[in-house]
Amino acid sequence: MKILVCISNVPDTTSKINFTADNKEFDKNGVQYVINPWDEYALTRAIELKEAKGGTVTVLNVGEADAEPNIRKALAIGADDAIRVNAKPVDAFFVAQQIAAVAKEGNYDMILMGKESIDYNGSQVHGMVGELLGIPSVVPAFKLDMVDDSTARLEREIEGGKEVVEVKLPFVASAQQPMSEPRIPNMRGIMTARTKPLAVKEPVGAEAKAEYVGYSKPEKKGGVKMIDPENAGELITLLRNEAKVL
């Protein structure tokens, strides 16, 4: 069984977020990058399936050279090899086309990724990849098991309960907690990751469908206004005219 796990290189949630002077680009200065936490659930589950059933796990990142330390971390966790598509991930459709191209070439049985990336929270790529490849897409799943060599069973949340789905390979799935418990690389894994293959491919000729024209930070919270409990009229006026929630 060949499993392709797609990972994103994202800012650590503890990083201070700033933008360039014209607010058109994210300012990377001083920012620590990590593997997208949702992708780590997918990666760990893929490794668990490989250990239980056999096969290989390939990590795929669409990104620039600065993503390679985190790709090596994924190899240290237990992936067998890695591919980096040498391109800036400009939008979800562009990324999905790169993943689909690699998946077609590699003839993978399973394509896993996190339910979203914590930087853009778009939750779009997995569905696009399934559509581009013409295969099922099960999103987001919190449990993934193999029924037999050609069928997987997944569970996902729906309103008021859960849904159990059986799907034939190949398919796309996105992961969320608690699909697996993310692993920390050990020293042996870190050492072997240095020699595992990391192929760099040029992107396919795909155009982005969206353009980010600007970024802004949330407005700072204002001060607290204390209202006399006997003055309900003033409270209603403030909620309507200032907070605009009524």
Residue 14 has pLDDT above 90, yes or no: no
| Residue 206 pLDDT > 80 | no
| Phi, psi torsion values for 12, nearest 5 degrees | -60, 140
pLDDT given at position 21: 81
Write out the two tokens for 26.
């994210």
pLDDT at 168: 97
Question: Six-digit token pair at 219?
Answer: 């407005």
Report the distance separating Cα 184 and Cα 76, nearest Å: 9
What is the C-alpha to C-alpha distance for residues 224 and 237, in angstroms, rounded to an integer? Answer: 15
Structure confidence at residue 227 (pLDDT): 85
Q: Amino acid letter at 204?
A: V
Q: What is the mean pLDDT of residues 71-77?
A: 97
| Higher per-residue pLDDT: 238 or 108 | 108
Please give the pLDDT value at position 218.
82
* Top-ranked range on mean pLDDT: pick from 28-32, 141-145, 218-222, 227-231: 141-145
CATH code for 2-216?
Answer: 3.40.50.620
pLDDT band, residue 7 (cuts 50/70/90): very high
Instruction: Please name the residues in contact with 113: beta carbons below 8 A apart, sequence gap of 6 or more.
Output: 5, 6, 7, 38, 39, 42, 125, 126, 172, 174, 175
* Rounded distance between C-alpha atoms, residue 143 and residue 127, angstroms: 18
